[in-house]
Structure 1
Amino acid sequence: MTTNRRLRDLLGELKDGESVSKALQGGKVNLLDVRLWFDGLIPAKEQYSRYLAPRADIVHSPDFESGCVRVLKGQAFRLTRDEMAALGSFLAAAPTQGAQQEENLASASFVEPLRKRRRLEKLQPAYELLSSIPPTSNVVERFFSVARTTFGMQRHSLQPYTLEMLLFLRQNTGYWDARTVKSAK
């Protein structure tokens, strides 16, 4: 009886892990989703923390990952210095203020600059494209698999430029179809 219950519990744990594994292979998954799923798995089985914790040894860049998760949560104002440095290349350029606005501030009342300062303090730095970073390397692995297949079949008669073009077109099939090719002729 106890063996059956232990097996059922183990099956439940395995199903949880399997559902996370399948969800990771989805198309619209970002780092925040993955962090939430991993954090949900860790209490189910403590051994998962060795590999799935935010600062696990297997994580290549913990500051980058935790910074992405904070920004995707809408908590960019809570980034540490290391996280800001890791996300620096994704920081959107701040809109430039014109000289006319500066002139208006000089002639404005005493209260206006204080209001503006408060509004600027509320603004969080904007980081671009973080939600489009794939949380796994599945796309890259599939790409190299396709490249190996394509190159293997035609390796003797294929110029590098032609291989590059074939792989580019095959990887981006969502952006073109037969009508696009026909119109390009």
Structure 2
Amino acid sequence: MTGPGRGPVVVVVLGVSGAGKSTVGRALAEGLGVPFLEGDAVHPAANVAKMAAGRPLDDADRAPWLRTLTDRIRQSSRSGRGLVVTCSALKRAYRDELRRAAPGVWCVYLAVDRGTARARVSRRTGHFMPLRLVDSQFEILEPLEPDEPGVSVDAAGDPEVTMARARRAVAGFGGGPAR
């Protein structure tokens, strides 16, 4: 998939923990026939340990993680292939950094309320992100702004409905501002 005159499209699926990023991201990648990159899988070990201990990451902690993500986006774009990446990208500055990696970076923000996120995270098993960090994510969350390339999708309901909304949004991607 390519954006109009912009090269391969890289879809960044973002939101707080429990929003459904991995589920939606995998489905989008499969539907688009492009590789999938789970952002949690490229966190440095120190970040994973810090989060597992219930301590939120700060900008300095996230810097090497964001560099890894931007490097992977850049590599994908240079190879001429699209990519779907999942990552929290909670702040505009993080998304701006990801967009600077290559033309055609487009965001799907999965919007959920705090209660939904907390309920979903509380049911997880085998993930390093503890429930007590959900609130810290909402404290720094800067939702997708109207001038950012991408779309906000209500992800609080049924995962199948959320995936259908995300698929429609990506299929209709024209490189414009958030809708």
Q: Same fold (TM over 0.5)?
A: no
TM-score of the pair, normalised by structure 2: 0.21
Structure number having the greater helix percentage: 1
Structure number having the greater strand percentage: 2
Rg comparison, structure with higher value: 1
**Higher relative contact order structure (alpha carbons within 8 Å, sequence separation ≥ 6):** 2
